Chain A
């Protein structure tokens, strides 16, 4: 170990990594010592959802024959098995002969052979721990709730132990921005803005989403070109929703986690509770029928009274669930349409007139072969 000449220690450049030369084997003493090459063209990639990959370029002056190049990364967490080291120009007349790992050190040595003395640009890629990323969105909804402007922000925080004097940060969708980032620093950047995005508003009653039976207000955005999105898959992130209040300012109207939404899929955002729509459920019939031993059927009528106290009519979606084998009876009434989502789930759309006039959804079903 004492044979290693750690020339590079004086230059704690970049993110704490360094490349230097040393001369481990007396037989190959013809290698001249070179100065530490600076990092060039650093790229930090966030295209993998779980890990962060750093790629940097270094120009190394090589002597003819075998060169030993040392790389160390004390103070930062680099997954050394992930290191990929290769000349930027695949046709360069160099060969990487071997990689040696000294004990107990965040370092390695490449043995590089060169056909002649030359400067070669190398690319070095590795996975680096403790660089966090976060996506968030701001949605500004028009007064009439027909459209919105949708802003996409990307935030990175650097806990890696090193600093990036300047680097290209690349998001999952390939958006690139050049920034410097100190250790411990976080930076938030607006990466995309989409204006005049059409949105759909839905009132949803779903006891699994709100145990008190309150009606939820959802905005649904289709990640598609026809509504003004669809350029990239939307990352998971918090969406804060503001609305134009018609007085030249805006009001915050709620927030939700937006799930990862591929192109063509829907992002559903709950903004809050629709307080002006009330739904009350009563079981009007609950009879046992067709008893056979320990097996029977049931006949049930659930009545949902919907009151819309708003000044305008509304369509309310009721998501209802019945377990086991069952079928809906033909005299179910009060809905505009229904859809049996799966065996357990049925979705009704009910038109609720304005100003509190009650409307009733009568849901009549028979459970079969219960025991």
Chain B
């Protein structure tokens, strides 16, 4: 699987410089990395790789060569840090030789002969992760079992063995893409590997591991317990959490701007304690809903790709139209009044008028349980709104009815709209 010189295989050489400048170079090839940590971002194609190795330095100037031909490493991101012996080691400069643009050399001054743990970190592209959710609805849609997964996809060209995996949730600002800085186009082999990954992805094993969630600045970091080995081209899905008994509310909603010209069934729940959630934000991902169809069989309800859901925030999932809950609107009256005219010297012409319209809204519930409605009505121009049922003003042109119908219930709502046109309009 290890097709590319990268990471473990990345050529790391230590050259001792004797006091005389440019003396014979002693080349020391270094041992494998001791530890590797991957911090994978999902808002941008970026992974921070941090590897630790133990190196021996000679007193004086040491030249440490690091090369990464054939990988997607951003050369501007490669950093050297001494973890132990830092007070005796000093990076004098980083040189990018002319002959290779996938290699650099650190000149490191050591105060004495010493052995030190050093950390080399860099950005790479090609590794990503995504969240996914399964919502298993109870037969009456009143609650669900929510399972969250994270899937890590390795398309970097390198197998990372026994890596600590951290996932960052959040939209960090990146002013240049890492793939661009790496100067690497994805090679055909990588594309091929990506295809294999897609085939293999779903079949990959899923072991149950604890995922520790911590907040950092505006982001969250998920740390996967233990270490993971993710071969190149593979995807691996891990369960993030599972929560049973999450209360869910269904609201039949009329809101053409959001859900189109249909009465949509919107499943609503909150990422909070009242809903047995709220321990962490939910990263963006696909939520698939299934319904328990009895006898252990599942029915597919729908899927939605959600944005990031903060703690205490609400999530709404459009489960589509339901033929058993309907709405119908009819205009029962139209008349024009308050006509005003102007004289242009030869003839009179109409310059302002009002219209009076009456509408009837019929709601029916054929289901065997009570349902909630939210009806949003949007108007244009300079209008007055009047109805027998109390409404809320959502914004300057939107009125909202909220009501409940018992099982097999029906209700008619009548509302009137007066609209001023031409010179009659204030707006």
Q: Establish whether A and B are touching in the complex (CB under 8 Å).
A: yes
A residues at B contact (CB < 8 Å): 136, 138, 141, 143, 145, 157, 177, 179, 182-190, 214, 217, 238, 240, 243, 245-246, 249, 251-257, 270-276, 278, 282-289, 301, 303, 307, 309, 311, 355-356
Q: Give bound CA distance, A356 to B310, whole Å.
A: 9
Q: How far is the CB of A161 from chain B (nearest CB, A)?
A: 11
Q: How far is the CB of A329 from chain B (nearest CB, A)?
A: 16
Q: Which residue of the partner chain, among B48, B169, B313, contacts A309 with CB atoms under 8 Å?
A: B313
Binds A, one of B12-20, B89-97, B187-195, B292-300: B89-97
Q: Are A274 and B218 in contact (CB under 8 A)?
A: yes
Binds A, one of B110-118, B124-132, B151-159, B171-179: B171-179
Contact pattern, B 35-69, Cβ under 8 Å of A = 1, otherwise 0: 00101010100101010000000000000000000
Cβ of B281 within 8 Å of any chain A Cβ, yes or no, is yes
What DSSP secondary structure best describes chain A's contact surface? strand
- B328 neighbours in A (Cβ, 8 Å): none
- B216 neighbours in A (Cβ, 8 Å): 143, 243, 245-246, 251, 253
Q: Are A307 and B313 in contact (CB under 8 A)?
A: yes
- A245 neighbours in B (Cβ, 8 Å): 214, 216, 221
- A190 neighbours in B (Cβ, 8 Å): 91
- B258 neighbours in A (Cβ, 8 Å): none
Residues in B293-323 with C-beta less than 8 Å from chain A: 308, 310-313
Q: Are A249 and B214 in contact (CB under 8 A)?
A: no
Q: Are B217 and A217 in contact (CB under 8 A)?
A: yes
- A187 neighbours in B (Cβ, 8 Å): 93-96
Binds A, one of B202-210, B360-368, B390-398: B390-398
Nearest-CB residue, chain A, relative to B50: A249
Q: List 29 A-B contacts (CB under 8 A).
A: A138-B79, A143-B216, A182-B98, A184-B98, A185-B95, A217-B218, A238-B176, A240-B77, A245-B214, A245-B216, A246-B214, A249-B37, A249-B50, A251-B39, A251-B166, A251-B219, A252-B48, A255-B173, A271-B217, A272-B170, A275-B218, A275-B281, A275-B310, A284-B396, A285-B396, A287-B426, A301-B396, A309-B310, A356-B311
Nearest-CB residue, chain A, relative to B395: A282
Q: Are B174 and A255 in contact (CB under 8 A)?
A: yes
With A189-B93, A288-B425, A356-B310 already in contact, the answer to whether A271 and B394 are too (CB < 8 A) is no
> How big is chain B's contact interface, by range?
35 or more
Name the 9 nearest CB pairs between A and B, nearest first.
A184-B98, A309-B310, A356-B312, A273-B171, A186-B96, A254-B172, A272-B172, A282-B395, A254-B173
- A274 neighbours in B (Cβ, 8 Å): 218
Q: Are B218 and A271 in contact (CB under 8 A)?
A: yes
Q: Give bound CA distance, A145 to B219, whole Å.
A: 13
- A138 neighbours in B (Cβ, 8 Å): 79
Q: Give bound CA distance, A52 to B311, whole Å.
A: 53
Q: Give bound CA distance, A190 to B166, whole Å.
A: 29
Nearest-CB residue, chain A, relative to B426: A288
- A289 neighbours in B (Cβ, 8 Å): 426
Point out which of A190, A253, A278 has the most chain B C-beta atoms below 10 A from its C-beta: A253
Q: Are A136 and B175 in contact (CB under 8 A)?
A: no
- A278 neighbours in B (Cβ, 8 Å): 310, 313
- B123 neighbours in A (Cβ, 8 Å): 252
Q: Are B171 and A275 in contact (CB under 8 A)?
A: yes
Nearest-CB residue, chain A, relative to B96: A186
